[in-house]
Structure 1
Amino acid sequence: MKVKNRWYYICVLVDLFNREIIGHSAGPNKDAALISRAFATVQGDLCQLQWFHTDRGSEFKNQKMDELLKTFEIGRSLSMKGCPYDNAVAEATYKIMKTEFVNQMNFQSLRHLELELYDCVNWFNKYRIHGTLGYMTPVQYRQEVLKKIV
């Protein structure tokens, strides 16, 4: 996305269980630092994450990411080369982010983008219903499943 004629990127980490965005970041470069900053926003113990699934982009498969995943004992899963279906949930989430967030906004600065991204993630998790979750929000779905377990 553009901020004052300069390209910026966002990263969202999506929990496949309930499609909840559990981490997010924005920045000027599509690199491991962007991904690491998204991991830094995850609430709770990163050691509870079992798998990190991505496409084969260089921002995901590098020494910095190897070290982060090893530190927290998170397994890595990579999409097969040329197979976007392996990453379908992430691709669907990015499409929603593009059409319902990015394309609706005119960002004045990186800080403005970060604040709006925070609001968008909150909206996505707590207010946006998902047909694949029985027309519940990601947070509602998680809470309903936890009720059934307890």
Structure 2
Amino acid sequence: MNEELESQFTEFEKPLIIRRKLLPWWIKTFCWIFMLMGGCSVGALIFNLFTPNIRLSIYGFTTYTAFSGIGLFIIAIIIFKGYAAYTLWFEKQNAILIGKFDAIAGIAICLFSMIILPFIFRSIRFEFRFELILLIIFYLRLNKIEYEWNNLKTI
């Protein structure tokens, strides 16, 4: 009988595991970077109302105005990356799914800017995008922790 009571109380003594502990340090760092960049991209829209030029660049796409097709595309990417980082940092249930979608979209956009754009525009030459390697590693890491993330209870 005493062993039965003891085993029931040991459940309460176990340390609570939070999902954020599943993330390696480099993903935690990038979460903060992209949350800040998401906020700054909204600021870039406002800032571009008062100044003619603002340089925006991601995944091989660059523009000097936020109010252009490419500018709005870049800002949308950065805001989505900020949202994905937010969901990971604040341990949302769907964070892994959103993060994997972010990684796949980033890989597709990188490949498009590396392979397709040089054929469409002769003035653009092939450049290997280092982000591609980081995005693949990010996707693989999210894939590795997905099962445990989805089966942990939130605090």
Superposition TM-score, scaled by structure 1 size: 0.28
Of structures 1 and 2, the larger Rg is shown by 2
Q: Hey, which of these two has a bigger chunk of helix by percent? A: 2
Q: Hey, which of these two has a bigger chunk of strand by percent? A: 1
